[in-house]
Amino acid sequence: MATNALDIRPLSGALGAEILGVDLAHDISDETVAAIRAAWLEHLVVFFRDQKLEPAQLLNLARRFGEPVEYPFVKGLDGFPQITPVIKLEHEKINFGGLWHSDTAYLEKPPMATMLIARESPPRGGDTLFANMYLAYETLSDGLRRVLDGLIVVNSSAKADVTRTREDRIKDSGKTEAKKEFIAEHPVVRTHPETGRKALYANGGHALCFKDMTVEESAPLLNYLFQHATRPEFTCRFRWEPGSIAMWDNRCTQHNPVNDYHGHRRVMHRVTLAGDVPR
């Protein structure tokens, strides 16, 4: 199946597309998987509506695109350790992962992709924003791109902002290694292994400093990159409903779940797919 055989509807000029007319609960063909993957590589994040997948079906679907891996801090579902519950309860004020980031950049091999399905969504709010890191890199000046091409960024799982967003889940379902700090050094600009395009790969959730520089020395340029990377013209916004699925390319996007639904419950199930060492 070619991508033009799918009903693909772009969400914005920068990235994101809804794919309609596909029932992911059934055993979709290899041709359909290939067409979805091609659309995903083109649009960076793809969305599906009204999907009824039990945990086993969600994992089977994820395996058609990659190898599911466990999240290092929070226990997965009983019997399905690779499926991480992403929950904000009615009384909680801080949401899980509630800042611009790419998933687990503090690992030596960050995930290639993330697949998220909505189980319960608030009556309004709780959207997720996505940003295109190809555009973030390509719109920088030639001079700054030359500087960044030679820099390495140190990423930490213990950066204050991101640890705050997972405190409640660690309290009620944390793993024994939840207090461990993960640190990984990655290029500020990575080359996508499938498309060959360069993408900015430094995010405000995990990036501490440049290698061989102090946090204070690194802050001005890093803060500029964080703000630049999430300019409105680089983004799209997705509104969740129960049964909605998003699958994003963690190598060339950042995302930010909007925390605007206090007093309501939001329950998602997340699967991450194994990636490679950023180059």
* Catalytic residue set: 101, 103, 255, 270
- Judged by DSSP in three states, 244 sits in coil
Give the number of residues written for the chain: 279
**Quick one: residue 150, left, alpha or beta (phi over 0 = left, psi -120 to 50 = alpha)?**
alpha
| Residue closest to 145 by CA, chosen among 191, 102, 88 | 191
The Cα diameter of the chain in Å comes to 53
Q: Which residue type is seen at 76?
A: G
Range 224-262 burial, b when 16+ CB lie within 10 A, else e: ebbeebbeeebbbebebeebbbbbbbbbbbbbbbebebe
The DSSP string of 134-186 is: HHHHHTS-HHHHHHHTT-EEEEETT-HHHHHHTHHHHHHHB-TTTTPPPEEEE
How is residue 232 annotated by DSSP?
G
Q: Are strands 17-20 and 45-48 parallel, antiparallel or unpaired?
A: parallel
